Amino acid sequence: MTDTHFPVLIVGAGAGGLSVAARLRRRDPALKIAVIEPSEYHYYQPAWTLVGGGRYDAARTRRAMAACVPSGVTLVAGSVAGFEPEQNRVVLEDGRRLGYDCLLVAAGIELNWDAIEGLSGSLGSNGVTSNYRYDLAPYTWECISRLQGGAALFTQPAMPIKCAGAPQKILYLAADHFRRQGRRVSLGFYTPGASMFGVPFYAKALDQVMADYGAAAHYGRNLVAVDGPGRQAVFEVVKDGQKTRETVPFDMIHVVPPQRAPRFVRESALADAGGWLEVDRATLQHVRHPNVFGIGDCTSTPNSKTAAAVKNQAPVAAANILAQLRGGAPSGRYDGYASCPLTTSAGKVMLAEFCYDGVVTPSFPADPRVPRRFYWWLKTTFLPYLYWDILLKGKSWPILHRPRTFPEAVPPIAP
């Protein structure tokens, strides 16, 4: 039996869920909306790299969840256990069932810390850290600021992950700090991928950033174990179809864990074969259940999982949900836009913007491969404002990005 019914039910009060709820309320103040969320706090996660680099206060990235939920929207404190799409219901872990006319799944992504042997017990000590946790980002800066020499490792797991540039952003901030302090530290970036970035246009420029810092990129390597007290990392290496293991000593290691859709999504009837919420990449409407929509990291859309993507998905999801409620066809279209402000040093950012299929779509006419001080201001000052006061409030922001062409040759790079 359904305990409560809502015209719009939203799973998740992250950037996607709250921004769509706010947009819907602005367009239809009488619309009854509920958001399901177990967390006490809402976090501005894009700034955690800056926290780890000693350039931002962690406390500024956290606000009480109740204060972030739009006025008039019901906050349901609880965790989702599963979906009953044929009955238009969501099941909570405490047994409650909430009905809906339209459902938006904005469940985010799950960090699988336990997929790496020894990692969970090592984090927060012996130089083992990660900016992917609020409580650990300050420890990252502690590790960087105290390191006088030795080896600093930075790892990235297999895609997809949220904010695919974050694993290398902290490397650059650390490298810049070591250079300023005159410290000789061996820097290594370890990834199962074959390049520094998924879009070749930007990857070639990032190769130059790595070279400028004297950092070594180790491709085809996947972190499988961490021995904190022994200060050793174990990587699986695949070469010519053969798997071997490589043990690398470290003085500090920044780890990004493998990631996946939350269990209640990946084991549900709403998931695709990979476990992601299966939606149309343009309309964000579920491919089998037309009154179900998705936004953000939990979906199957083949774009980079960033807050910038959510910013452009939110108006599409809101418009198409209203169309569905009113018996119309979805008209909003998402083009796959994502943005990754790559902090190449404490003071400069390379602003990587792109859409589906790696199409380069900068918001500004200047060559986006060149790190600029203006983009540092964007990253540290403007984007937090855009997040808290525009995106989460459901306000509109103009679309500035568009396809632009630049010379194939990479310009001189000064991180």
- In tens, the pLDDT along 269-294 reads 999 999 999 999 999 999 999 999 99
pLDDT band with cut points at 50, 70 and 90 for residue 315: very high
Strands 348-354 and 338-345: antiparallel
Q: Percentage of residues in the chain with pLDDT exceeding 90?
A: 97
Strand locations in 183-279 (E) = 184-191, 216-219, 221-227, 232-239, 242-249, 252-254, 259-260
pLDDT band with cut points at 50, 70 and 90 for residue 386: very high
Helix intervals (H) in 112-153: 119-122, 137-146
Predicted pLDDT of residue 238: 85
Non-local (6+) Cβ contacts of 312 within 8 A are 334, 335, 337, 399
- Domains in the chain, CATH or no CATH each: 4-110+260-325 (3.50.50.60), 118-258 (3.50.50.60)
pLDDT band with cut points at 50, 70 and 90 for residue 239: confident
Query: How far apart are alpha carbons 184 and 214 in whole angstroms?
Result: 10
Query: How far apart are alpha carbons 303 and 80 in whole angstroms?
Result: 25
Task: Say yes or no to pLDDT of 2 above 60.
Answer: no
Task: Tell me, yes or no, if the pTM score tops 0.75.
Answer: yes
Active-site positions? 163, 340
Query: How far apart are alpha carbons 178 and 263 in whole angstroms?
Result: 40
Query: How far apart are alpha carbons 400 and 404 in whole angstroms?
Result: 12
Contact between 312 and 301 (Cβ < 8 Å): no
Query: How far apart are alpha carbons 402 and 383 in whole angstroms?
Result: 19
Task: Say yes or no to pLDDT of 1 above 80.
Answer: no
Average pLDDT, rounded, for the chain? 96
Please give the structure tokens belonging to residue 348: 């400069």
